[in-house]
Every structure is written in C-alpha cells, then in structure tokens.
Amino acid sequence: MTPEEMQGRFKQYALRVIRLVGKLPKGPAAEVIGRQLVKAATSAAANYRAACIARSRADFIHKMSIVEEETDESTFWVDLAADAKIIRRPLIDGLLQEGQELLAIVVSSKKTAKARQAKAQSARRKQTQ
C-alpha cells in the first residue's frame, strides 16, 4: 500500500469516527468518550501525514510512534463506547476492525524502519573502522 493510500485510509477512518461521534447520545460519558475519540483519530491521521514528509528515518520512526499511540487510543475509545453501552457494538465493529488494521500496518512499518535504521548504522560503523 502506498503512503498516499494509507493517508486516504487514515483520513477516512477519522471521518468515520467524526460521523460516529455525531450519532452518540447526549450525556457526560458520551461527550468525554466522543471528544477523546475524535482527538485521537484525527491526530493519528494528521501525524501519519506528517510522517510521510519526515526529514529523516529517525523523524519518521518518532512520528510513527505517535501515530501508533493515537491509533491505539482511538480503538480503545471505540471499544469503551461499546462496552459502556453508549453505542451498539454492531455499529462500531467495522470501525474497530479498521483501527486495528491501521495499527498493525503502522507497527509493521515502524519495525521495518527501525531495522533499516539499525542496518544503516551498522554499515556506517563498519566503514569508519
């Protein structure tokens, strides 16, 4: 999947979250969960976009760590909303699955970047010896 396709998936995920939060019932718990969910999902999308223009591999890894954290947090809030009976689980199953898929892709991408960074550092050390 290209970075542009991933940006699109993250943006669609954030939009789905925004639409879901608009359907939540009124009440203090729903408001807190909704606010946190929108913040996490939109932050994940924005930070993925920022990772795509990272200035270095280290910068990319740092930004992807933020994306990982925010995506994981968004799946937590989606799951909590269902567990708290604020929204019915069938309404969020697809959204939860998409969040988990995005999270898995981000984790894998970050692992690959870290491995490449370690390999490059090792090669540089060998050249200076």
Residue 129 has pLDDT above 80, yes or no: no
Residue 123 has pLDDT above 90, yes or no: no
Residue 3 — pLDDT band, cuts 50, 70, 90?
Answer: very high
3-state secondary structure the chain: CCHHHHHHHHHHHHHHHHHHHHCCCCCHHHHHHHHHHHHHHHHHHHHHHHHCCCCCHHHHHHHHHHHHHHHHHHHHHHHHHHHCCCCCHHHHHHHHHHHHHHHHHHHHHHHHHHHHHHHHHHHHHHHHC
Sign of the CA dihedral with 116 first, then 119, 123, and 124 last: positive
86-96 tens-digit pLDDT: 999 999 999 99
Q: Which structure tokens are listed for 4?
A: 């542009």
Task: Identify the CATH number of the domain in which residue 57 sits.
Answer: 1.20.1440.60
Residue 15 — pLDDT band, cuts 50, 70, 90?
Answer: very high
pLDDT of residue 121: 82
Query: Is-above-0.95 flag for pTM?
Result: no
* Torsional class of 114: left (φ above 0), alpha (ψ -120 to 50), beta (otherwise): alpha
Residue 127 — pLDDT band, cuts 50, 70, 90?
Answer: confident
Across the chain, mean pLDDT equals: 95
| Stronger pLDDT, 119 or 38, i.e. the higher one | 38
| Average confidence (pLDDT) over 13-18 | 98
CA proximity to 15, closest of 41, 43, 35, 46: 41
Q: Which domain holds residue 70?
A: 3-128
Task: Work out how many domains the chain is built from and give that number.
Answer: 1
